[in-house]
């Protein structure tokens, strides 16, 4: 908790999104202080509540509807159940839009237009509304109607083309990244676009429509490797665990673990040869350029380094690298991440009160924006139980009385 004013105090967001990419965007806005109202289908809720490999346990030890997938992308939101296919549900949404700043949705192209909930319809109610649609392939084009999930875009956009073991090695070939990185990056890009639209509205008084596509993010996130191709016309080879810049950069194996080493500049390489007590390697014609160390003779050099590193412990080598200023970091399995002193110092494991959980808490991953000096991102609300705030929103924001709320429940609107 903090007494600092939040960056998005007074901003209200209607989050009609499901699964991961768009919910991440809503969560970022919530972390920055926006009032995010998550609209979920009655009974069923967000599909993401059923995804992942773990669920928060309740006080009886049973699984709640708070899956890992949902929990990591829906904190700082209030959950409201609403059936927008019913006229009463549509009317409630329109009433919310009147006092909202942003609406995020990730339905199929044209789906919400059937209910009069598209941008053109809602901007008549609130001309200052920022309406953001997140889809797989965008609102127009030959693929616009296709559904899309993260793995599809890792395949289509180029990430898999540059991830995996190099050709000629056992198991070579395209490799999917472990996390849903395209979803995650698209969520961040979406939040940035919304923040830009809010700034423009401050300057002009105008709302706008935002068309976000996972495809666009998937191509952009290949970044400098894709730019290599655009400049040279040649597709860079897969490097496995090798670095994409200078060399040597790769995993090196110690007597009790693994370190990732990046001695990417000439000076870093010189220091490494001294540390290895092999200064002659610095002028060795096999390794006397960054290209040779990082590309042409990369594996030969990594093998030489590993012959040396296998005789030493991770702790000893890390200390030696730190002393001479060579960038390196130990490889961590997931449990080890949370034992890293710097991770603890940055308070990246955020213990958060959650009344429905067995011990009353859930550990979340802190926002990377939590270190802003004036308006830090904070966790004010845990991921919500389905429909947890429906009555609160209807009563406090829209002025519905108990009888009207009960009627909506009977009609299965909420």
Give burial (CB, 10 Å; 0-12/13-18/19+) of 26. buried
Give dist(CA 289, CA 402) in Å, integer: 75
The SS3 of residue 344 is: helix
Q: Are strands 130-135 and 361-365 parallel, antiparallel or unpaired?
A: unpaired
Asked about 183 being catalytic, the answer comes back as: yes
Q: How many whole angstroms separate alpha carbon 304 and alpha carbon 301?
A: 5
Q: What is the number of other CB atoms lying within 10 angstroms of the CB of residue 389?
A: 18
For tokens 């839009």, name the residue.
97
On whether the CB atoms of residues 37 and 11 are closer than 8 A, the answer is no
Provide CB contacts within 8 A for 303, sequence distance 6+: none
Whose tokens are 């999104």? That residue is 17
Q: Are 81 and 401 in contact (CB under 8 A)?
A: no
**Rounded Cα–Cα distance for residues 176 and 273 (Å):** 35
Please tell me what DSSP assigns to residue 367.
P
- Dihedral sign for Cα 370, 367, 97, 125, please: positive
SS (H, E, C) 324-387: HCCCEEECCCHHHHCCCHHHHHCCCEEEEECCCCCCCEEEEECCCCCCCCCCCCCCCCCCCCCC
**Is the distance from CB of 210 to CB of 199 less than 8 angstroms?**
no
Pair 291, 219: CB distance under 8 Å: no
Quote the CA–CA distance of 42 and 412 in Å, as a whole number: 8
Backbone angles phi, psi at 314, to 5 degrees: -60, -45
d(CA 164, CA 173): 6
Which of the following is catalytic: 15, 35, 118, 183? 183
List CB contacts of 366: < 8 A, sequence separation 6 or more.
346, 347, 348, 349, 350, 379
Angle at 230 between CA 267 and CA 286, to 5 degrees: 35
Task: Give catalytic residues, as residue numbers.
Answer: 183
């Amino acid at each position: 908790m903090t007494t600092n004013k939040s960056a998005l105090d007074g901003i209200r967001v209607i989050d009609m999104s499901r699964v991961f990419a768009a919910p991440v965007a809503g969560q970022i806005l919530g972390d920055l202080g926006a009032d995010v109202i998550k609209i979920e289908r009655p009974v069923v809720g967000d599909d993401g509540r059923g995804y992942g490999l773990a669920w928060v346990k309740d006080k009886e030890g049973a699984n709640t509807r708070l899956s890992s997938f949902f929990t990591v992308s829906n904190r700082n939101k209030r959950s409201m159940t609403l059936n927008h296919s019913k006229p009463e549900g549509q009317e409630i949404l329109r009433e919310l839009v009147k006092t909202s700043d942003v609406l995020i949705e990730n339905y199929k192209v044209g789906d919400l237009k059937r209910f009069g909930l598209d941008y053109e319809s809602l901007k008549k109610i609130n001309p200052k509304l920022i309406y953001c649609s997140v889809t797989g392939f965008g609102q127009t084009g030959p693929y616009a109607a296709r559904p899309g999930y993260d793995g599809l875009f890792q395949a289509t956009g180029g990430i898999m083309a540059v991830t995996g073991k190099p050709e000629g090695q056992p198991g070579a070939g395209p490799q999917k990244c472990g996390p849903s990185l395209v979803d995650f990056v698209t969520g961040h890009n979406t939040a940035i676009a919304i923040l830009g639209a809010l700034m423009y509205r401050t300057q002009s008084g105008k709302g706008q429509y935002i068309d976000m596509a996972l495809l666009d993010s998937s191509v952009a996130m290949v970044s400098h490797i894709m730019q290599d191709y655009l400049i040279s016309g040649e597709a860079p080879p897969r490097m496995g665990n090798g670095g994409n810049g200078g060399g040597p950069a790769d995993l090196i194996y110690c007597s009790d673990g693994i370190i990732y080493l990046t001695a990417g500049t000439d000076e870093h390489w010189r220091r490494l040869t001294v540390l290895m007590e092999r200064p002659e390697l610095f002028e060795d014609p096999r390794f006397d350029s960054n290209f040779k160390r990082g590309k042409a003779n990369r594996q030969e050099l990594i093998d030489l380094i590993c012959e040396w590193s296998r005789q030493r412990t991770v702790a000893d080598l890390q200390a030696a690298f730190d002393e001479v200023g060579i960038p390196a970091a130990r490889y961590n399995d997931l449990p080890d991440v949370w034992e890293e002193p710097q991770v603890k110092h940055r308070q990246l494991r955020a213990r958060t009160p959650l009344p429905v959980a067995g011990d009353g808490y859930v550990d979340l991953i802190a926002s990377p924006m939590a270190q802003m000096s004036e308006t830090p991102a904070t966790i004010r609300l845990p991921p919500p139980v389905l429909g947890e705030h429906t009555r609160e929103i209807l009563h406090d924001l829209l002025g519905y009385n108990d009888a009207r709320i009960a009627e909506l429940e009977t009609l299965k609107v909420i």
